Amino acid sequence: MKRPIRWSAAPKQANRLESSVRSSAAKFKQLRHFTAVTALALGLVACASAPSRQAQTGAASAQPLARLVVATPDADHDVLAQLLAGEMALGRTDLKAASGYYNKAMLLSNDPQVAERAARLAIAVHDSDAAQRAIGRWQALGAKPAAMAEARAELALDHGDADEARRQLELLIGSGDKDAWRQFGRVLVGARDQAQAARLLETLATPQRLPADAQAWLAMSELGDKFGRHAYAMQIAEAAMQRFKSVETYAWAAQMKFNDGDHDGARALLQKALVKAPQNAQLRLTYASMLSQAGDYAGAAKVLEHGPQNADIFSLRAALAARNNDEKALAALYQQLQQAPEDVRTRSTYLLGQLAEMQHRDAEALSWYGQVGDDDPHAFDADVRSALILHTQGKVADAHQLLDQLQMDYLDQPEQLRQAYQVDAELYLREQKYVQAEQAFSRALQVVPDDPGLLYSRGLAYAEAGQIDQAVQDFQHLLKIKPGDVDASNALGFTLADADRDLPEAEKLLQVARAAKPADPAIADSWGWLQYRLGHLDQAAQTLRSAWQAGKDADVGVHLGEVLWKQGHRQDAQRIFDEVRKLDPRNSSLQNTLKRLNP
């Protein structure tokens, strides 16, 4: 039930490094000449098509403008057509075609943005000649020196020319452009040779050169960490912390130490940061996350209890309480969150539903889940939880109807579609509607073919429905995908034993399962049932009695009762059957067994 939460103190400056030529759709200027000609042509067509008074009165004098012919450019000489074709090619991720269209557009346009786009696309498809031409055209149209240096550095790195790349990168960071270091990072992130890029990073992004901007320092440290240059990354992180002494620099340096295994050092840094900013919510989240990763759940909860609360803090507090099975803390959180400001409650409707469900407040949980917005990342999960609650409440048709709607809504999202089918199937299993369960599992397998979990579950549904051949086929196929899988071996072995067919093969399979999990009651039940089929009643009774005492599982009790009955111990068998009836009054195995033993 608990919502999985991951926190990171690392400031994601590298996400701001725009490494793709497709990162934003540039708006290009339309040529005034083309627009004017088009407007004129439309006007003249309108004039030519309107009947004149002279024509209406029979006068046949020709209009001079009617003889005017307006030339329109063909596609190869139409800049707008080339730009549109280029964008369409980008839309289908055909960079080579897009580069070709932009190369033509560049020659027809005086817009430097078109030339820039042509240059970046040519570099992206490794077309050196086209890139050189586009860079030259871009420069002629007035490109900024920093942008020129960035493009030439990209091209040099694409060629593997480290010396030229370094020269251009030095021009870039020395240009004084406010975005120079962001552009520097973007060049290195996009380099084909990451080792070469890492060497340039260490050479050029030194404490002596980096600007008076903490974000730039953190971005370079994170980039070094991405390249595997951990010593460099740590050096820059510590230098940034000493220079800027900001919460963000402390947090990143602490994250670096934590990742290196220095948990004490990380906590010490975060404690210093908390002294500087005790109300900083993100800092408290980071510190609590580190404590919980180190196993100090109580310490993590204590850090989060005090100070301003937001949706993220409530989520982590709930996760920590759920991990500790602290029902009292979960109940307190539920009350606090209901009284939180409206914006916090709005962001936390799914969590409120979870907390209500944990306390068996199903009606309240349904209400909260119903308030989860369609754009919330938990919208699908909220609907699934709602379906499960409805089913528990006995509103079976409503539960399946909701899952049917999810299957329609998420047709284009395979993971969610698969889950919707699977939950639907599992609910049918609960209802002992095995044919419908098998059909739902089959639909899920169409979405995710050969999924082991789905094959296993469908095999169980087939077996319960009495379709033994199909069940055996699914379990055998699963064992081909996962040779020696213990659960599949046990399932196939039991299915064969229960059907009283191919008992030697069943024995081999169950021996494999027993060797892997000798204390597993489910496997012991299968082994005991096999011994019953083989006629070894004493061994069967001993094994099944042990499994029954270990878990009081209804199906195990049914098997034990039948063996005792066959041994002539009918009072003992009846006592076991009575216990099973108390555990599971609707158990179909019990009903079928009693009919068989007492025809």
Q: Tell me the pLDDT tens digit for each residue of 486-498.
A: 999 999 999 999 9
Domain of residue 507: give its range. 484-597
Question: For 340, which DSSP code?
Answer: S
Torsion angle of the four alpha carbons 194, 199, 200, 203, in this order, in degrees rounded to the nearest 10: 160
pLDDT of residue 77: 80
> Tokens standing for 301?
């909860």
CATH code of 583's domain: 1.25.40.10
Examine residue 516 and state whether it is found in any structural domain, yes or no. yes
> Tokens standing for 123?
């570099």
What is the percent of the chain with per-residue pLDDT over 90, rounded to a whole number? Answer: 76
> Tokens standing for 559?
């098997």
Mean pLDDT of the chain: 87
Examine residue 359 and state whether it is found in any structural domain, yes or no. no
Confidence of residue 272 (pLDDT cuts 50, 70, 90): confident
Query: Contacts by 114-119 with C-beta closer than 8 Å and gap 24+?
Result: 114/28, 114/79, 114/83, 115/141, 115/143, 116/26, 116/143, 116/147, 116/151, 117/21, 117/26, 117/86, 119/151
Examine residue 259 and state whether it is found in any structural domain, yes or no. no
Q: Tens of pLDDT along 59-68?
A: 444 454 444 4
Find the helix or strand (DSSP H, E) in which 166 lies. Answer: helix 162-173
Examine residue 588 and state whether it is found in any structural domain, yes or no. yes
Query: Contacts by 546-555 with C-beta closer than 8 Å and gap 24+?
Result: 547/521, 547/522, 548/576, 550/519, 550/521, 550/524, 551/521, 552/579, 552/583, 553/521, 553/522, 553/525, 554/580, 554/583, 554/584, 554/587, 554/589, 554/590, 555/525, 555/587, 555/589
Examine residue 569 and state whether it is found in any structural domain, yes or no. yes
> Tokens standing for 560?
């034990």
Q: Tens of pLDDT along 340-391?
A: 999 999 999 999 999 999 999 999 999 999 999 999 999 999 999 999 999 9
pLDDT of residue 587: 86
Q: Give the separation between CA 291 and CA 295, rounded to whole angstroms.
A: 6
Q: Give the separation between CA 413 and CA 421, rounded to whole angstroms.
A: 12
pTM comes to 0.67
Q: Give the separation between CA 405 and CA 8, rounded to whole angstroms.
A: 36
Q: Give the separation between CA 187 and CA 407, rounded to whole angstroms.
A: 43
One-character DSSP codes across 125-157: TT-HHHHHHHHHHHHHTT--HHHHHHHHHHHHH
Examine residue 464 and state whether it is found in any structural domain, yes or no. no
Between residues 55 and 159, which one has the greater pLDDT?
A: 159
pLDDT value at 139 more than 80 = yes
Between residues 592 and 43, which one has the greater pLDDT?
A: 592
| Phi and psi angles of residue 404, each rounded to the nearest 5 degrees, phi first | -60, -40
Alpha helices (runs of H) in 448-520, residue ranges in sequence order: 452-464, 468-481, 486-498, 503-516
Name the region of 566 (left: φ>0; alpha: ψ -120 to 50; beta: rest): alpha
- How many domains is the chain built from? 1
Q: Give the separation between CA 464 and CA 445, rounded to whole angstroms.
A: 19
pLDDT of residue 408: 96
Q: Give the separation between CA 469 and CA 499, rounded to whole angstroms.
A: 10
Examine residue 90 and state whether it is found in any structural domain, yes or no. no
Examine residue 544 and state whether it is found in any structural domain, yes or no. yes
Q: Which of 97, 107, 136 is nearest to 119 (CA)?
A: 136
Question: Three-state SS string across 532-557, please?
Answer: HHCCCHHHHHHHHHHHHHHHCCHHHH
Q: Tens of pLDDT along 143-187?
A: 999 999 999 999 999 999 999 999 999 999 999 999 999 999 999
pLDDT value at 204 more than 90 = yes
> Tokens standing for 504?
């030697």
Q: Give the separation between CA 392 and CA 427, rounded to whole angstroms.
A: 10
Q: Which of 13, 7, 10 is nearest to 255 (CA)?
A: 10
Q: Treating both helix axes as pointing N-terminal to C-terminal, what angle do 145-159 and 112-124 enclose, rounded to 10 degrees?
A: 20
- Residue 452: how many CA atoms within 13 Å on its side-chain side? 13
> Tokens standing for 254?
């602490």
